[in-house]
Amino acid sequence: MPRLITEECINCGACEPECPVGAISEGENIYIIDTNVCVDCKGHYDSPRCVEYCPVDCIPPLE
Ligand code: SF4
Ligand code: SF4
């Protein structure tokens, strides 16, 4: 299941370079995840890399 970034994002940019598939980019107001590209880090890391690096814990799974 892909993840999304909520509006609590503080635009720190920490997540973007950590994504193994390049799914994260800077949006107009907050960072955004391309849900067609995000693989929840499956096959790359044991846990979602962006979540590990996000200081405000604003990257839940997309329901
Ligand atoms: S969960 Fe993994 S693949 Fe998805 S956006 Fe975060 S770092 Fe990228
Ligand atoms: S690490 Fe979290 S707060 Fe920082 S840009 Fe990414 S989603 Fe936003």
Q: How far apart (Å, rounded) are the C-alpha atoms in residues 40 and 23?
A: 10
Q: What is the pTM of this model?
A: 0.96
Closest residue CA from atom 8 of ligand 1: 19
User: What pLDDT does residue 13 have?
Assistant: 98
User: What percentage of the chain reaches a pLDDT higher than 90?
Assistant: 98
CATH number corresponding to 1-63:
3.30.70.20
pLDDT digit string (tens) for 28-44? 999 999 999 999 999 99
Q: What is the mean pLDDT of the chain?
A: 97
CA of 57 to the centre of ligand 2 (A): 8
CA distances from 34 to 3, 62 (A): 9, 11
The number of C-alpha atoms within 13 Å of 27 and in the hemisphere containing its C-beta is 15
